[in-house]
């Protein structure tokens, strides 16, 4: 089908799912970021970008959201399409075969095939309580949707990956450092009283190593990320250069850093499959021992005029102090949030096209 009047990137990845940045090559991620910059420029200039007229995006949120929901919804509208919000409790909750409850749930295999006949992409968010705190179950739900869907499935964050956040983050990094290879990127644990998934730090270290950065993962003992992700990062280093190291020392990690990303995640040893049962109280008690893992100006001063990053929502006074997150000298926080709109519009433009 002709792509008359539209940029060449529209439909360039027609029909593909977007579940994990590491499913894509560095070249493909760079293509997405280039498209996102074109869309950002047009948005800022008020130029129309009617690239997906009449297309429908189904958005299924098992968890709450500010940035993801509103940037997807605004984004598809700005592309000429329409977003349809689905709350799992207002449909028969789409469920894996092992969790079915008659007339309250519906199999993902069926939901996915029905929605495939109505629209042009399905975007899903599921982690934490919605995935029963069994790490990997949220990702399994999204993979199950993708298995049965004949339209693209987009991962709006599960319990393993948050790929659109990673795209927005790499866009923010490459706005500051157009050649990120060799820049020191620290992904660090920071304390929160809440229980947060592993998705953001795991996607951050994946995309950092995919772009040849010197990635340092810093966390207290007990906050190890998943082995399969660590192994994927090591493979990225072999393929793309740069380095990947792990430390238990936040101060040491910050020294000379170009970008720091201090945020909370949960100690996985309290949750299946790494524990025999879900122990949220144990996890909360354990992480309360690390309240000194907080990003302060004193820590930022150890960096190489480093930039502060966080996916949002940041827990002020726990993960970071106001003097860092609100200081433009350090903070990329609002640029990262803004970029969500543009990277998602880029991916939607590239995948939500049939019969190209
Ligand atoms: N970063 C992010 O995904 O934000 P929301 O939880 O607000 O969507």
Residue-wise pLDDT tens digits, 6-48:
999 999 999 999 999 999 999 999 999 999 999 999 999 999 9
- For ligand 1, whether the C-beta of 157 sits within 6 Å is yes
Q: CB burial class (10 A; 0-12, 13-18, 19+) of residue 16?
A: middle
Whether residue 273 is preceded by a cis peptide bond, meaning omega within 30 degrees of 0, is yes
What is the pLDDT, as a whole number, of residue 354?
85
Tell me if 73 CB under 6 Å of ligand 1. no
Q: Give the distance (Å) from ligand 1 centre to CA of residue 102.
A: 32
Q: 163-337 sits in which CATH class?
A: alpha beta
With a 6 Å cutoff on the Cβ, whether 174 touches ligand 1 is: no
State yes or no: pLDDT of 356 exceeds 70. Answer: no
Q: Which residues contact 15 (CB under 8 A, 6 or more apart)?
A: 151, 152, 351, 353, 354
Residue 194 CB–ligand 1 contact under 6 Å: no
Strand pairing category for 214-218 and 184-189 = parallel
Say whether the peptide bond before residue 41 is cis (omega within 30 degrees of 0): no
| Closest Cα to atom 6 of ligand 1 | 65
How many residues can be counted in the chain? Answer: 356
Ligand 1 centre and the CA of 49: distance in Å? 24
Which residue in 51, 141, 68 sits closest to 98, CA to CA? 141
- What is the structure's pLDDT at 198? 98
For the chain, residues classed under CATH 3.40.50.1370 are 2-160+340-351, 163-337
Q: Using 50, 70 and 90 to split pLDDT, how confident is the model at 355?
A: low
For residue 265, is pLDDT > 90? yes
- Residue 158, ligand 1, Cβ within 6 A: no
CA of 342 to the centre of ligand 1 (A): 15
Cβ of residue 204 lying under 6 Å from some atom of ligand 1: no
Q: Give the C-alpha separation, 314 to 51, whole Å.
A: 34
Structure tokens at 63: 């968890």
SS3 94: strand
Q: Domain 2-160+340-351 - what CATH class?
A: alpha beta
User: What percentage of the chain reaches a pLDDT higher than 70?
Assistant: 99
| Residue-by-residue DSSP string for 205-255 | HHHHHHTT-EEEEE--TT----HHHHHHHHHHHHHH--EEEEES-HHHHHT
The whole model's pTM is what? 0.97
Q: What is the mean pLDDT of residues 97-124?
A: 97
Query: Could you tell me if the CB of 67 is within 6 A of ligand 1?
Result: yes
Q: Contact, 52 vs 120, CB < 8 A?
A: yes
Determine which residue's CA is closest to atom 3 belonging to ligand 1: 68
pLDDT at 4 over 80: no
Sorted by sequence, the CB contacts under 8 Å of residue 186 that are 6+ apart come out as 215, 216, 218, 253, 254, 257, 259, 260, 261, 262, 306
| Span from the CA of 185 to the centroid of ligand 1 (angstroms) | 21
Tell how far the Cα of 4 is from the centroid of ligand 1, in angstroms: 35
CA-nearest residue, atom 4 of ligand 1: 67
Q: Is the pLDDT of residue 298 over 60?
A: yes
Instruction: Label residue 80 left, alpha or beta by phi (over 0 means left) and psi (-120 to 50 means alpha).
Output: left
What is the distance of C-alpha 46 from the center of its chain? 27
């Amino acid at each position: 089908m002709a792509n008359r009047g539209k940029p060449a990137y529209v439909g360039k990845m027609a029909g593909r799912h977007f579940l994990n940045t590491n499913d894509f090559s560095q070249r493909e991620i760079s293509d997405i970021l280039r498209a996102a910059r074109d869309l950002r420029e047009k948005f800022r200039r008020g130029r129309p970008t009617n690239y997906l007229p009449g297309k429908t995006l189904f958005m299924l949120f098992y968890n709450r959201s500010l940035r993801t929901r509103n940037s997807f919804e605004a984004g598809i509208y700005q592309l000429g399409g329409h977003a349809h919000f689905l709350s799992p409790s207002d449909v028969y909750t789409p469920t894996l075969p092992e969790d079915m409850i008659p007339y309250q749930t519906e199999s993902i295999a069926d939901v996915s095939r029905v929605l495939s006949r109505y629209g042009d992409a399905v975007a899903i968010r599921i982690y934490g309580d919605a995935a029963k705190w069994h790490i990997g179950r949220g990702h399994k739900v999204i993979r199950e949707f993708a298995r049965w869907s004949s339209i693209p499935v987009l991962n709006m964050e599960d319990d393993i990956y948050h790929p659109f956040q990673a795209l927005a983050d790499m866009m923010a990094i490459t706005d500051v450092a157009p050649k990120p290879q060799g820049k020191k990127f620290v992904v660090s644990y920071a304390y929160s009283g809440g229980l947060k998934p592993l998705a953001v730090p795991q996607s951050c270290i994946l995309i950092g190593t995919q772009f040849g950065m010197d990635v340092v993962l810093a966390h207290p003992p007990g906050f190890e990320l998943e082995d399969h992700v660590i192994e994927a990062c090591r493979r990225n280093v072999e393929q793309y250069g740069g380095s990947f190291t792990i430390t238990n020392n936040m101060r040491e990690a910050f020294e000379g850093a170009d970008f720091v990303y201090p945020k909370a995640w949960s100690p996985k040893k309290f949750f299946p499959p790494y524990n025999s049962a879900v122990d949220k109280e144990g996890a909360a008690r354990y992480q309360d021992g690390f309240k000194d893992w907080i990003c302060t100006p004193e820590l930022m001063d150890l960096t190489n005029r480093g930039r502060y990053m966080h996916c949002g929502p940041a827990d002020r006074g726990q993960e970071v102090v106001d003097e860092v997150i609100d200081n433009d000298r350090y903070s990329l926080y609002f640029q990262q949030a803004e970029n969500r709109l543009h990277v998602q519009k880029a991916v939607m433009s590239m995948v939500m096209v049939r019969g190209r």
